[in-house]
Amino acid sequence: MCGITGFIQWNGDLTQDSRLLVKMTETLAHRGPDGSGTWISGPCAFGHRRLSVIDPENGAQPMIIHREEEVYAIVYNGELYNAGELKKELSSRGHSFRTTCDTEVLLVSYMEWGPDCLERLNGIFAFAIWDSVQEQVFLARDRVGVKPLFYSYVDGTLVFGSEPKAILQHPKVEPVVGPEGLAEVFIVGPARTPGHGVFRDLAELRPGRAMIFNREGLRTYTYWKLESRPHEDDEAQTAAYLRELIQDTVERQLVSDVPVCSLLSGGLDSSALSALAVQYYTRTGQGQVHTYSVDYVDNDKHFKSHAFQPGADAPWIQRMQEELKSKHHWIEFDTPELVNTLELSTEKRDLPGMADVDASLLLFCQEIKKGATVAISGEAADEIFGGYPWFHREEALQSGTFPWSVAPQLRSELLSPEIREWISPLEYLADRYSDAVAEVPLLEGEDAGQARMRVMSYLNITRFMPTLLDRKDRMSMGAGLEVRVPYTDHRLIDYVFNIPWSIKTAGGREKGILRKALEGVLPQDVLYRKKSPYPKTHNPNYLSAVRQRMLHVLEDSSSPILPLIDAAKIRELAASSEASSNLPWFGQLMSGPQLFAYLTQVNHWLKAYKISIK
């Protein structure tokens, strides 16, 4: 993976902006520690930071191809998992290749098919291509949004980047946040409405969309979206096809010129990927698979089972390590490390995030990077197969809001009366929910129960899953580690979206059809283990530390968050037993301690990014 940035300006001499381009590019050094490149030609300026995974010697970017008078240039972040097939087809059409990297395959695909090349790509990507023939820049993002792409269009100039920090270096883009941005942070966050960049002049190219910028202006269009259609396969056929598809997806994503490891939590999703990786490595003679897990000092002593986290992971990780005979690496962090990494994780995300969950993931990826460059991870299985508790609870299904936003009233009350009146947080959240539901492609003739589950699946895939993909991308790339997520293969998501709920819950279990598909791949006890999410710390020292940190923020009259919040309400919360409650205020993992941590992240974000509120 890599970091990309650049700007396109039809008037003026961009060669005078070479220092600006370098400055923008260097903000993404963490995404690509292995190399750097910039290119300016006419109205186009491209910058790239490289993490070498395929063809380390010849894959430098920006990559330029000249064909007589024609010039094509690309900056690209991602991986094409069908690059071999595409290369073979393009060769048969007369194209020759000078590298073995997928960057060249992507650029030549555009040269052959133009924007229609997107229909042929299987992978995760965000890229920009300069086309001198059409005199335009073509930008696109993968179907599910695994790889990020932000942009700003101000005064006729288009600025883009893998992360907001690169775009904010451009003098035309200022760190201003208005009422919508504040609503995103205080009532939607740490999720984010698709397409919303939070900063006033910043937007996100949504998953499955492409953009063309030429002298006539900027045009964005959708090239892929979820579609509803009847599911024709029975339960046995569905399970068999899923197994075939998952195995194909995993094996495609294990291709690399550098070692690939697996993140292992001991749960169904990561255990299945690890097991399939071991099978593939054994069959191809690639040696022992390395697996990694994360936990916290004394978590075993403080863990208490509850509905969102029914069991500890450590015994199951041990069980799978022994089963797979992998080379396992146990990574453990203590409370001070988590607290001290809150600010850095905020800067990696360019926004306040998932508190200790972000911080621990960043630390985890830093440790993995010491021994590996590429990892596979189990994100997205719960969203597409219906694994979360809110898929199975009537009150969540009938809540009339996003089921992971479980305490919007509380969050609204934490704001100052003036800000609450200005941004109307509850109304904003209701509008975003209505927008999401209105997008759902319902199936004609479907009964009310199945239609309701289709809505829930759509919300999870398009609204909750991006939050976790953002987290995984920013924290992993923040450590220069590429993490691949096989369950986000668009073929898999497209197929599973249309599986009836009665088949998805085969055997009366959450993700029942996935369990059935993986029979024989995993031991029965692991296969039918109750879901447990990414681990968070249960150490009471963490609550004490982040609560104290928040109180320091409240006591500092220069804290930029103070005009935005009701300090008395937060002090009251800090003094109450609610602060240690297991009732989440966001998702499964964020309860009292994470609320204090999140607010300190908001304060740091406002200060570090010198944000103006207007």
Instruction: Indicate which residues carry an active-site annotation.
Output: 2
* Cis peptide leading into residue 190 (ω within 30°): yes
Distances, alpha carbon 183 to alpha carbons 148, 179, 408, in Å? 21, 6, 11
| 8 A C-beta contact, residue 506 and residue 235 | yes
DSSP letters for 185-240: IIIITTS--TTB-SSTT-EEPPTTEEEEEETTEEEEEES-----------HHHHHH
Closest CA to 177 of 196, 149, 153: 196
Element holding 165 (H helix, E strand)? helix 164-167
Closest CA to 337 of 541, 586, 548: 541
Q: Tally the C-alpha atoms within 13 A of residue 383's C-alpha that lie toward its C-beta.
A: 25
Which residues, in sequence order, are CB contacts of 118 under 8 Å at separation 6+?
A: 140, 210, 223, 224
**Exposure string (b/e) for 376-413, b if CB count within 10 Å is 16 or more?**
bbbbbbbbbbbbbbbbeeeebbeeebbbbbbbbeebbe
Burial-class residue 37 by CB neighbours within 10 Å (0-12, 13-18, 19+): middle
Structure tokens at 318: 């041990």
Residue at token pair 């300006």 = 9
Element holding 103 (H helix, E strand)? helix 102-113
Burial-class residue 255 by CB neighbours within 10 Å (0-12, 13-18, 19+): middle
Element holding 542 (H helix, E strand)? helix 540-555
Q: What are phi and psi of 261, to 5 degrees?
A: -115, 180
d(CA 476, CA 174): 27
